[in-house]
A = this chain, B = another copy of it.
Amino acid sequence: VGLIGSKLIEQIIQNAARIKDSLGIELIINGLSNSRKMLISADALDPGNYAPLLESSKTPANINQLIEKMVDYNFTHSIFIDNTASAEVPRFYERILDNNISISTPNKVAMSSEFNQFIGLKSLSKKRGVPFKYETNVAAGLPVISTLENLINSGDQISKIEAVLSGSVSYIFNTFSANGPDFSEVVKEAQTLGFTEPDPREDLSGADVRRKILILAREAGSEVESTDIEIHSILNDACLNAQSVEDFYVELGKDNQRFRSSVTSAEKENKRLRFIASFEGGKGVISLKAVPVNHPFYALSGSDNMIVLHSNRYNRTPLVVRGPGAGADVTAAGVLAEIIGIAGLI
């Protein structure tokens, strides 16, 4: 139970009575795990007391044993929720689904690994009739994957996806201006405010955006691998290869003049810099672009995400979803909405 997990339990406590009353769905927690300890029981756990309960557990965390127990208890109508970013947990998805247990997860690892693994899990979910859902993989609680699913299910064909998918990079380029502080200062401030990962290169390198556009492309029906998405890096090699975050900032400081020229020339043309992922014709590109005032990405503010879908039906003007696409609160809410949706299906 980490940041998203604890927010989710908080939201379950706050809403369980209303959900039972208005939707007839009773949410029961039978198991919990963090990276150190775990707890699983045939009886419902008290969500209001989850932290001390888990802390006092004598059982060390072991994902293999946790799933063994879930299968043993033969829980009907149960949902496995992976609120981690771990690469280990997704290795068990197949076994979970195969035992008729649904999955809801914001963890992008399984969906952004090899296409065969992604499609294998989708097929297994279909074969077993067990929901496998991951709306919060992209843009947290914003309705993106379900929207793509509805378009594809109803026979539409996606011709092009354009998206701003990194709230932290958005925040940085919404703050950076021709007459303001240096780029390295803006990045450092965003890190201090908690908008970036502890190592800001995880955001600025585009690797996370690549995972997201890859998942959207696959949802849109493309058999595509990570290598089909090209990243035009914002950072130079010296920055990318720096051994520590401290060294990274030293290298970024040496490159400030390049960022200064980019933003100055963009502003001269009344344009703004945006870190855009696009997918079209089987290929994806992620790059920093200067967009003009009439471009949909121009007016983005704060750390907003924006997803623009062009399709056979949405051809003259696209379907657009926009809003805060990160944060434990909106991600947990997205997972809770998904759990309720799954409960209606199982």
Q: Chain A residues in contact with chain B, CB under 8 A?
A: 11, 14-15, 18-19, 22-24, 126, 129, 141-143, 146-147, 150-151, 153-156, 293-294, 296, 299, 301-302, 304, 313-314, 316-324, 329-330, 333-334, 336-337, 340-341, 344-345
Inter-subunit contact B323/A323 (CB<8 Å): no
Inter-subunit contact B330/A304 (CB<8 Å): no
Known: A141-B313, A299-B296, A330-B314. A23 touches B153 (CB 8 A): yes
CA distance A295 to B344 in the complex (A): 38
Inter-subunit contact B154/A340 (CB<8 Å): yes
Inter-subunit contact B299/A155 (CB<8 Å): no
Which residues does chain B contribute within 8 Å of A294, judged by CB atoms? 299
- Write the nearest CB–CB distance from A218 to chain B, whole angstroms: 14
CA distance A330 to B311 in the complex (A): 11
Q: Which of B154, B299, B301, B337 contacts A153 (CB 8 A)?
A: B337
Known: A155-B336, A299-B296, A313-B141. A321 touches B324 (CB 8 A): no
Q: Which of B150, B156, B314 contacts A323 (CB 8 A)?
A: B314
19 A-B residue pairs with Cβ-Cβ distance under 8 Å, sorted by A, are A15-B155, A23-B126, A141-B154, A141-B319, A150-B334, A150-B341, A151-B337, A153-B337, A154-B333, A155-B336, A299-B299, A302-B316, A302-B317, A304-B317, A317-B324, A319-B324, A320-B320, A320-B321, A322-B322
Which residues does chain B contribute within 8 Å of A19, judged by CB atoms? 153
- Write the nearest CB–CB distance from A177 to chain B, whole angstroms: 15
